[in-house]
Homo-oligomer: A and B are copies of this chain.
Amino acid sequence: MHLKKPQEVLLLGPGPSPVHPRVLEAMGQHTLGHLDPDFFQIMDQTNNLLRLVFETKNRITFPVSATGSAGMEAALVNILEPGDKAVIGVNGVFGQRMVDVASRCGAEVIEVDAEWGRPIDPELLEKTLSAQSKVKLVGVVHAETSTGVQQPLEPVVDVVRKFDALLLVDAVTSLGGLPVAVDRRDLDIVYSGNQKCLGAPPGLAPITFGERALEKFQERKSKVQSWYLDLSFLTRYWGEERFYHHTAPINMIYALFEALSMIKEEGLEDRFARHSLHSKALIAGLKALGVNTVVSEQHRLPSLNAVWIPEGIDDAQLRSSLRRDHLIEIGGGLGPFKGKVWRIGLMGNGSRRENVERLLKALSEILNNLGHKCSGEEALSEAGKIYQ
């Protein structure tokens, strides 16, 4: 191998999350053809495992052959046509991205804003929808990776169902780490990414479309602007017909299959509990270090913990020392949070006690070096109380 062996950096940023050796081993298996009968079986099994994780019976459930953001684009280009109206909740980078992508479909986009660090207010959403006619789609981000906010979905569904609109949910940083529950919550279109709570390397965007969304798709008057993401082709390849569209990223699908198998083995409930537990321990430990969360407890994501950088600490200096001296990656802030916030991911295979403790130790060491006095022992003790 000529590639310089990558260092084993512990990935506790906003994704990618640490990939289990089993998943890497699966990815490195012999490449089958994209029209091979054995590969068709793997496709079917992968889709079944995705249905399990999405908690849906949706027929149209498959991984889009590109990264998470292409899942967002696939959802929007297949539904929105020029002149359609979309209402998008914006409380961070990914809501803003949805606005951008929807606008590029020629849709009229109405934003429902909330402060960064807070969820979208369902009452404001209802007010906005009431003031509009014929809104085709409402989009919200379940897990805002830029702020660590978890959007409560039930109140949003309740509002949207009062209108004849589809509900699109970005579950990139939630699927596999906290309940998305597509069918129980009656969500119309949901997409995610491989590299967060699912625990596979980046490269695929699992997506699911419910019947209501497919009806709207059938009613389209114009062609989908993206050939690559056109659902009418994708469903023919991923469905029984196996009609050639593009060459699927075979080995990425092996990896996703294996990561999903590991989720099935662990069980969804246990996995959600694990994500919740380690996030709580991390936050308790960080608090002891004088590092406080951005989001109130009620709306906190277990998978992505946004915290305020203590006063006087240089963001870049700390993160580069953490990466260089301790081989740990955490994320910096985006947009208005740049230089002010760290984003600490405990996702998938990364959500483990040893990782929480390793990070707390490393952080306390560097913080002390940079003049922010704090006790690593106390942090570990506070985290330990959560584990009792």
Q: Which residues of A contact B (CB under 8 A)?
A: 1-9, 11, 13, 15-16, 18-19, 22, 24-39, 42, 65-70, 73, 97, 100-101, 103-105, 193, 195, 201-203, 223-228, 244-252, 254-255, 257-258, 261-262, 265, 323, 329, 334
Contact = CB atoms under 8 A, between A and B. Distances in A.
A111 B227 CA distance: 18
A38 B3 CA distance: 11
A252 B66 CA distance: 11
A250 B245 CA distance: 24
8 contacts: A2-B265, A3-B258, A4-B38, A5-B29, A15-B247, A33-B329, A67-B248, A201-B251
A9 B193 CA distance: 30
Contacts of A104: 223-227
Contact of A65 (B5, B24, B66, B261): B66
Contacts of A105: 225
Nearest to A193: B247
Given A24-B28, A246-B69, A34 B16 contact: yes
**Closest 6 A/B residue pairs (Cβ):** A203-B249, A28-B28, A66-B66, A2-B261, A69-B246, A201-B251
A228 B73 contact: yes
- Copies of this subunit: 2
Contacts of A245: 69
Contact of A249 (B3, B67, B226): B67
B29 A3 contact: yes
Contacts of A34: 16, 202
A176 to B, nearest CB: 16
Contacts of A261: 2-3
B225 A3 contact: no
A67 B334 contact: no
B195 A247 contact: yes
A252 B252 contact: yes
Given A2-B257, A104-B225, 11 more contacts: A2-B258, A3-B42, A4-B42, A19-B251, A24-B251, A69-B246, A73-B228, A103-B223, A104-B227, A203-B249, A244-B334
B2 A227 contact: no
Nearest to A265: B2
A252 B250 CA distance: 11
A100 B227 contact: yes
B247 A16 contact: yes
Given A1-B25, A100-B227, A227-B69, A30 B42 contact: no
Given A250-B202, A257-B3, A227 B30 contact: no
B33 A8 contact: no
A250 B29 contact: no
Nearest to A3: B26
Nearest to A42: B3
